């Protein structure tokens, strides 16, 4: 058998920057490219010394800092599979993905020692723990325990053959429902997203500085804070702490990013905060993904901070953004057009391609970074990965100018009076009201068991929510059948670790709201 030509994504990324150029800036350390390369190689050698073999999984439950970055790259350089996981899960949840991945090595930051210790009771196959600022006494006996410094100081050559299709990275996702599934990505997929979205949409260069609200543990943040900056020979600005408007405004003022990545809920939080209007003066472009960016947020953010936001859509299964607006060519309220290298289709419920403008359909994408499938999930893989096409589960329409607009998840669409209603359309209208900071519209059954739209609203600072007023506000700007039948005020909207609104949780929260008599509207 002929072995394919060699390619390793970590080797590729480390080779792009000038040795003396700044590669990583964090609160604790700054590394130049030569220093980053040397440390990644030591981590790779350290993992090999622990007994990690090619294609074995190394899981990371760590804060966004130099250790996590060098750990992910070091695992890939050693031919292993890096598995960064959400740091917002419980010990029980972490234990499930740890056992599912059959990882032998777990790397843990001190902040997550408690959940990691609990997770180990569900994952007896773990043989080695690597701890960064964590107390070994907090962990059960069994796995061998190592300090991060021990692993990251092994100075031995690492010679492992990998190629385009070698597994490099697993990212766990559950979508909106279901058990977590490990999306498996090749080394070549990492190069692909750098050469398509980063280079051809963002036009990244070595002078760029990247600041991302989304963390390294999921696809969007991993591209923003690791793959894109390193592929351009640029600088990544890592932030280990929980993101807040004040913290990120301060980081932006101090570290002068040129590219700023967020999600709609964080852009809304910035607008609701009192951070200075010049906080993002160094930013040439902001990027949003995760959920559709409402027109009102785009307009208000540009008016206040002077920065244009590019809305796009990606997925864990596609590794990053594949449909996006372009700098200076934004159509607010749309997700733009296909990223070069990707193809888009809309299909009806029978799987037939939709060619008509304005007709809703399910979004399918084909491109060079699509995962090879889900680990040990045969049925789910067959359902989502269909030949060269990835079935996204998102409902979209194509506009007359060739751009695409999101209508929401297929399962989030609702009917009012027998007519389909897009939650995002109602949410967009409600966000125009000055009393509304955040909103999500979901369906809840009324006293007759019929689904009706309910608006879950977070009030703007110093504002009060008046249900009748908001319902009438929707009636005056939308067709009457689209108006919410009830308004539920919440202190905050429940969100996933990636900032997406947990609509399934909201549906349970508001289920009783329509069982009570409602005011006539």
Q: Where are the alpha helices (H) located in 422-466, listed in sequence order?
A: 423-431
Answer yes or no: is pLDDT of 409 > 90. no
How many independent structural domains does the chain possess? 3
pLDDT at 416: 63
Query: Does the residue 6 lie in any domain?
Result: no
Neighbouring-strand partners of residue 146: 130
CA angle (244, 245, 247) in 5-degree steps: 65
| Rounded-to-integer distance, Cα 510 and Cα 443, Å | 9
Query: Do 307 and 267 sit in the same domain of this protein?
Result: yes
Sign of CA dihedral 41, 43, 48, 49: positive
CB 169 within 8 A of CB 190: yes
Hey, what's the torsion of the CAs at 441, 447, 448, 450, to 10 degrees?
Answer: 10
425 plus 368 within the same structural domain: no
- The answer as to whether 350 is a domain residue is yes
pLDDT digits (tens, 9 = 90+) for 332-381: 999 999 999 999 999 998 999 999 999 999 999 999 999 999 999 999 99
Instruction: Please answer whether residues 90 and 98 qualify as being in contact, where contact means their C-beta atoms are separated by less than 8 angstroms.
Output: no
Residue 294 is classified by DSSP as P
What pLDDT score was predicted for residue 411? 63
Domain that holds residue 287: 186-409
Check if the beta carbon of residue 235 is closer than 8 Å to that of residue 261. no
What pLDDT sits at residue 175? 47
Among 409, 442, 471, the domain-final residue is 409
The percent of residues in the chain predicted with pLDDT above 90, rounded, is 74
Mean pLDDT of 309-322: 96
Q: pLDDT band for position 498 (50/70/90)?
A: low
205: domain CATH number is: 3.40.50.12780
Predicted confidence band of residue 512 (pLDDT cuts 50, 70, 90):
low
Q: Is 158 helix (H, G, I), strand (E, B) or coil?
A: coil
Q: Which of 409, 444, 476 is the last residue of a domain?
A: 409
Region 9-34: mean pLDDT is: 97
> DSSP readout, 410-426?
GGG-EEETTEEE-HHHH
273 and 383 in a single domain? The answer is yes
Strands 321-324 and 337-338: antiparallel
Model pLDDT for residues 55-78, shown as the tens digit of each residue = 999 999 999 999 999 999 999 999
Q: Is the pLDDT of residue 509 over 90?
A: no
Any domain includes 172? no
Question: Which pLDDT does position 349 carry in this prediction?
Answer: 87
If asked whether residues 309 and 455 sit together in one domain, one would say no
Q: Which residues contact 311 (CB under 8 A, 6 or more apart)?
A: 288, 289, 292, 293, 298, 324, 325, 330, 334, 335, 336
Residue 495 in 3-state DSSP?
strand
Q: What is the CA radius of gyration of the chain?
A: 23
With respect to residue 309, please indicate whether it lies within any of the assigned structural domains. yes
């Amino acid at each position: 058998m002929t072995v394919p030509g060699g390619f390793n994504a970590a080797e590729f990324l480390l080779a792009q920057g000038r040795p003396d150029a700044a590669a990583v800036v964090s609160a604790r350390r700054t590394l130049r490219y030569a220093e980053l390369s040397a440390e990644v190689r030591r981590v790779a050698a350290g993992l090999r010394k622990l007994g990690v073999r090619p294609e074995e999984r190394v899981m990371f439950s760590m804060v966004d800092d130099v250790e996590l970055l060098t750990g992910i790259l070091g695992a890939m350089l050693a031919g292993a599979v890096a598995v960064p996981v959400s740091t917002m899960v419980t010990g029980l949840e972490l234990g499930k993905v740890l056992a599912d991945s059959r990882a032998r090595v777990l790397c843990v930051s001190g902040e997550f020692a408690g959940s990691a210790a609990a997770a180990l009771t569900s994952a007896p196959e773990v043989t080695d723990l690597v701890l960064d600022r964590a107390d070994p006494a907090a962990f059960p006996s069994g796995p061998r325990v190592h300090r991060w410094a021990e692993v990251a100081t092994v100075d031995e050559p690492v010679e492992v053959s990998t190629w385009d299709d070698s597994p490099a990275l697993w990212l766990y996702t559950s979508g909106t429902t279901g058990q977590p599934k490990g999306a498996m990505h090749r080394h070549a997929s990492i190069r692909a997203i750098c050469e398509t979205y980063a280079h051809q949409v963002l036009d990244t260069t070595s002078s760029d500085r990247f600041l991302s609200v989304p963390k390294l543990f999921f696809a969007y943040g991993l591209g923003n804070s690791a793959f894109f900056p390193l592929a351009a020979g640029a600088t990544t600005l890592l932030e280990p702490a929980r993101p807040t408007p004040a913290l990120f405004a301060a980081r932006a003022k101090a570290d002068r990013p040129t590219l700023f990545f967020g999600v709609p809920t964080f852009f809304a939080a910035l607008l609701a905060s009192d951070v200075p209007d010049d906080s993002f003066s160094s930013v040439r472009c902001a990027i949003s993904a995760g959920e559709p960016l409402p027109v009102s947020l785009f307009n208000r953010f540009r008016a206040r901070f002077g920065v244009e936001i590019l809305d796009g859509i990606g997925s864990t299964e596609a590794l990053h953004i594949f449909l996006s607006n372009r700098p200076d060519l934004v159509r607010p309220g749309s997700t733009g057009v296909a990223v070069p290298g990707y193809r888009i289709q809309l299909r009806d419920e029978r799987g037939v391609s939709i060619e008509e403008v304005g007709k809703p359909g399910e979004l399918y994408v084909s491109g060079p970074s699509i995962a090879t499938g889900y680990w040990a999930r045969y049925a789910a893989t067959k359902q989502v990965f269909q030949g060269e096409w990835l079935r996204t589960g998102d409902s979209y329409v194509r506009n007359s100018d060739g751009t695409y607009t999101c209508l929401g998840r297929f399962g989030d669409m609702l009917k009012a009076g027998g007519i389909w209603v897009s939650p995002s359309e109602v949410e967009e209208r409600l966000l125009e009201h000055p009393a509304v900071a955040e909103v999500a519209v979901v369906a809840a059954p009324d006293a007759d068991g019929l689904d009706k739209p309910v608006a879950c609203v977070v009030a703007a600072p110093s504002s009060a929510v008046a249900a009748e007023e908001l319902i009438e506000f929707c009636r005056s700007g939308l067709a009457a059948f689209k108006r919410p039948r009830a308004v539920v005020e919440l202190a905050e909207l429940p969100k996933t670790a990636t900032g997406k609104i947990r609509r399934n949780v909201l549906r349970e929260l508001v289920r009783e709201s329509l069982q009570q008599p409602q005011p006539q509207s």
